Chains A and B, each alone.
Chain A
Amino acid sequence: MTTTHGLQVRDASNRIIYSTDDVTWNQVDYFFVSGNGSVSQTFSVLSGREVLTLQILIDAPPITRRAIAHTITVNGTTITASGGSENAYILVLMR
């Protein structure tokens, strides 16, 4: 697609680095939640936007117990991660 209006960001060689033809997911937060812990965060910037969350386990599953991932819920502008037995990072993205 050729941009006739919008934003084009070019580098010193005049190559397009980024433009309104692109799609991305922007990082809102990347927070830690401990095993058997719970974290709830509210981000006003999520209002009216598409939200995506990813969970990353910090350690490999142990062989001595179940490694339960956290349940992540998105309720309006509030993200909650809870119910898991493992330390994890929660990545919150929006666009």
Chain B
Amino acid sequence: MSYGFLALNNNNQILVSSDTRNLHLITKASVPIQTNSSYNYFGGIRSWTYRVTCAVTPVPFFTMPQTTVYLNNLIVRLPTYYGVARISSVNSNTWDIEIISNYTGNYDGTSEYPEVYVFGDPRASTSQETHGLLVYRDDGTASFDSRLRPLAVAGGVSVTHPSNPRPSFPYGLNPQYCGASLADQGGHFSPTSTGNTYTLPSALGQITKPMFCFMSLAQAERRAVYTATEEECDGVELFGNCVGFQRIYTWRSTYWAFYRGGISYTSDITQFNVTANWIVVYFGCRYTYDRASGIIGIGTGNYDTQGGTWPYSNETINLTSNTVIIADASRYD
């Protein structure tokens, strides 16, 4: 740099540079405009859309309310995973940010939403405050504006998700017409992978209100197929064969769940861990029913119905390392 402004921090890392743009708090969204899905099965499925106004592409951070249950006279926190599923432009200044989670609420029946803190470069906001430090780039646009509460990072880690959210299934499901209850399907497909845990510097445990920037990329699908067959004979059985009209009924149900990567955290004053694991975001079932009719072994017609599918089966994709950035939300409340 031959001209401009450069400030380095105590670690000799860039703090403010007129060659880049600091991220600043643009807005905060505490309540989603839409709840897209809400199930307590499958280990918990939640999806919320937050709509925010931001003149540049937003960088969202979110808090992670933890599911709690009352167990043996204790309030127990369950691993609760979150991720940003998508950021979509509604119009030039309006964005939808979708957060996914397996959060299912509090032990006392109450429920919370993640709070979304939207950061962006300083072109996205203005301030009437007359006190502070402004740094401009060579094109005259803002690089840093202390009035807009610039982002300070507390830590970060690169995480990878386990390769298989559900290595085995505990029981069978109804093969006829996808007839299994949601409770049975949920128990069948709830993630059982223990997750990959990363230990961060213990100083992070002193953060008052951790918030996370994590974009979910990893995806997995698991499916299980169950079949059943029945035969009817209107004539007589002779040496195991039907002499007369015969009908063979075949049911086949393919249950599936679609998972995306999320992160959770545990912390106290001595430790701070981030765990990467899976969240079910969609589930479904495809069934076929086939009725084959015949007389003395000669087919006279059949009938089948079907519905529901996912484009790939028993596969995990986008299983690459993924960045988590951690900051203290209380600094921006």
Q: Residues of A at under 8 Å CB distance from B?
A: 1, 6-7, 9, 11-12, 17-18, 20-28, 30, 45, 49-50, 52-69, 71, 89, 91, 94-95
Q: For residue A7, which residues in chain B have a CB less than 8 angstroms away from its CB?
A: 7, 15-16
Top 9 closest A-B pairs, CB basis? A12-B131, A26-B20, A95-B13, A22-B152, A69-B318, A9-B146, A45-B19, A69-B217, A30-B57
> A20 → chain B, closest Cβ, in Å?
5
Q: For residue A11, which residues in chain B have a CB less than 8 angstroms away from its CB?
A: 129, 131-132, 146-147
Tell me whether B98 and A60 are in contact (CB under 8 A): yes
> A43 → chain B, closest Cβ, in Å?
9
**Chain B window 210-221, contacts with chain A (Cβ cutoff 8 Å), 1 for yes, 0 for no:** 000101110100
Distance of A63 Cα from B313 Cα, bound (Å): 12
Tell me whether B86 and A20 are in contact (CB under 8 A): no
Tell me whether B22 and A24 are in contact (CB under 8 A): yes
Q: For residue A89, which residues in chain B have a CB less than 8 angstroms away from its CB?
A: 57, 87
Tell me whether B7 and A20 are in contact (CB under 8 A): yes
Instruction: With a 10 A CB-CB cut-off, give which of A27, A59, A89 has the most chain B CB atoms.
Output: A27
Tell me whether A45 and B151 are in contact (CB under 8 A): no
Tell me whether A57 and B131 are in contact (CB under 8 A): no
Q: For residue B85, which residues in chain A have a CB less than 8 angstroms away from its CB?
A: 57, 60
Q: For residue B153, which residues in chain A have a CB less than 8 angstroms away from its CB?
A: 22-25
The total number of A-B Cβ pairs within 8 Å is 143
* A13 (CB) vs chain B CBs: closest residue: B131
19 residue pairs of the A-B complex, CB under 8 angstroms, read A18-B15, A18-B133, A20-B8, A23-B154, A24-B14, A24-B153, A25-B156, A26-B16, A30-B121, A45-B20, A56-B84, A57-B87, A57-B217, A58-B87, A60-B85, A60-B86, A61-B260, A62-B311, A67-B317
* A26 (CB) vs chain B CBs: closest residue: B20
Q: In residues 307-331 of chain B, which contact A (Cβ within 8 Å)?
A: 309-312, 317-318, 320, 323, 325
**Chain B window 260-299, contacts with chain A (Cβ cutoff 8 Å), 1 for yes, 0 for no:** 1000000000000000000000100000000000000000
Instruction: With a 10 A CB-CB cut-off, give which of B13, B19, B56, B320 has the most chain A CB atoms.
Output: B13
Given contacts A23-B153, A52-B323, contact A63 B11 (CB under 8 A): no
Distance of A94 Cα from B213 Cα, bound (Å): 15
Distance of A36 Cα from B201 Cα, bound (Å): 39
Distance of A62 Cα from B152 Cα, bound (Å): 35
Q: For residue B132, which residues in chain A have a CB less than 8 angstroms away from its CB?
A: 9, 11-12, 17
Tell me whether A66 and B317 are in contact (CB under 8 A): yes
Q: For residue A68, which residues in chain B have a CB less than 8 angstroms away from its CB?
A: 317-318
Q: For residue B310, which residues in chain A have a CB less than 8 angstroms away from its CB?
A: 63
Tell me whether A18 and B152 are in contact (CB under 8 A): yes
- Does B191 make an interface contact (CB < 8 A)? no
Distance of A67 Cα from B282 Cα, bound (Å): 14
> B53 → chain A, closest Cβ, in Å?
17
Q: For residue B14, which residues in chain A have a CB less than 8 angstroms away from its CB?
A: 24, 26, 49, 94-95
Distance of A52 Cα from B324 Cα, bound (Å): 10
- Does B9 make an interface contact (CB < 8 A)? yes
* A50 (CB) vs chain B CBs: closest residue: B13
Tell me whether A22 and B131 are in contact (CB under 8 A): no
Q: Which residue from A28, A45, A67 sits with its C-beta under 8 Å from B219? A: A67
Tell me whether B146 and A22 are in contact (CB under 8 A): no
Q: Which residue from B146, B150, B215, B219 sits with its C-beta under 8 Å from A24? A: B150
Tell me whether A23 and B325 are in contact (CB under 8 A): no
* A28 (CB) vs chain B CBs: closest residue: B20
Q: Which residue from B84, B152, B318 sits with its C-beta under 8 Å from A23? A: B152
Q: Apart from A55-B215, A55-B217, A89-B57, what 20 extra A-B contacts exist at CB < 8 Å?
A: A6-B10, A11-B131, A17-B146, A18-B152, A21-B10, A22-B9, A24-B9, A24-B14, A24-B22, A26-B22, A27-B22, A49-B14, A54-B213, A56-B84, A61-B219, A63-B310, A66-B312, A67-B317, A68-B318, A69-B320
